Amino acid sequence: MILTVDDLTVAYGSVVAVRNLSFGAEEGKILSLLGPNGAGKTTTLMAIMGMIPIASGAVRLQSRSIAGARTEDTVRAGMTLTPEGRQIFASLTVAENLILGEAGLSGRDGGRWTRKEVLRTFPILSERLNQDAGTLSGGEQQQLAIARSLLSNPKVLLLDEPSLGLAPQVVDLIFSLIVQLCEHGITVVLVEQNAMRSLEIAHHSVVLSAGRKVFDGSASALRSSDDLMKAYLAIQ
């Protein structure tokens, strides 16, 4: 396992959002983290990135403990989050957004994902380099957000709701890009409201409900079980 989460508990004040959660992500594979609204998916991603404090538990990236580490150190160690809502800089150009993605990486070894390589993977961004990011379509903004994350050359990429609000063809494009990233050896932890699509490309799945793990197994086992899909994901 390249990423292991062991007995993780995260609370917002007295509200426990994630309780005693353990799971592992296998190198070069896609892990689909599913569950209804409020189940604790985003909280899990933010906690393992060090963006919110954890109450207890261990997080390891390539056997190295990163629980409680500063987010920038976690990025340097090889894990990046593309957050929900994309969080690109709308009033800066695409090129400037990419330059910012490269900034703050001093000390990190070079890797495959240079600006040139990123633009080769997301050709639409080459055509938009001098355009303000806020003027891009939703799908283009999502590609920019993922492109920016890739510039830190992550071994593990956490994606929070990458298809949210996108048109169906654009969702297809984003999912095929995720598969491509996986083929390049990146481990992807994917949070998606589109459970069926997510399970089509995922190898493994973990399902949360009210902060607790209720399923941990192969994506195909989850997908082919009507009972599980109905019970946890409200899919008939």
Q: In whole angstroms, how close is the CB of 46 to ligand ATP at the nearest point?
A: 8
Among positions 37, 63, 130, 169, the unique one binding ligand ATP when judged by CB under 6 A: 37
Annotate 147-157 with b (16+ C-beta within 10 A) or e (fewer).
Answer: bbbbbbbbbbb
Among positions 26, 27, 38, 230, the unique one binding ligand ATP when judged by CB under 6 A: 38
Q: In whole angstroms, how close is the CB of 17 to ligand ATP at the nearest point?
A: 3
Closest CB to ligand ATP among residues 92, 210: 210
Question: What are the CA-CA distances from residue 154 to residues 176, 187, 192, 232 (Å)?
Answer: 18, 9, 20, 31
Sole window of 32-40, 139-147, 197-205, 219-227 interacting with ligand ATP (rule: CB under 6 A): 32-40
Sole window of 20-28, 36-44, 68-76, 100-108 interacting with ligand ATP (rule: CB under 6 A): 36-44
Among positions 19, 40, 80, 145, the unique one binding ligand ATP when judged by CB under 6 A: 40
Does 162 contact ligand ATP by CB under 6 A?
no
Question: What are the CA-CA distances from residue 1 to residues 28, 29, 236 (Å)?
Answer: 10, 10, 32
Token look-up 């639409």 returns 124
How many of the other CB atoms lie within 10 Å of CB of 73?
10
CA distance 68 to 59: 9
Closest CB to ligand ATP among residues 35, 162: 35
The two tokens of residue 97 are 């957004």
Are the C-beta atoms of residues 178 and 162 closer than 8 Å to each other?
yes
Q: In whole angstroms, how close is the CB of 16 to ligand ATP at the nearest point?
A: 8
Does 41 contact ligand ATP by CB under 6 A?
yes
Does 101 contact ligand ATP by CB under 6 A?
no
Q: In whole angstroms, how close is the CB of 44 to ligand ATP at the nearest point?
A: 7
Size of the site for ligand ATP (CB under 6 A): 11
Among positions 2, 3, 5, 17, the unique one binding ligand ATP when judged by CB under 6 A: 17
| Positive or negative torsion for Cα 15, 31, 74, 81 | negative
Token look-up 């892990």 returns 31
Sole window of 10-18, 74-82, 141-149, 181-189 interacting with ligand ATP (rule: CB under 6 A): 10-18
Angle between helices 138-150 and 168-183 (to 10 degrees): 10
Quote the radius of gyration of the chain (alpha carbons, Å): 17
Are the C-beta atoms of residues 59 and 46 closer than 8 Å to each other?
no
Are the C-beta atoms of residues 199 and 219 closer than 8 Å to each other?
yes
Q: In whole angstroms, how close is the CB of 123 to ligand ATP at the nearest point?
A: 31
Among positions 3, 35, 80, 198, the unique one binding ligand ATP when judged by CB under 6 A: 35
Q: Which residues bind ligand ATP (CB under 6 A)?
A: 12, 15, 17, 35, 37-43
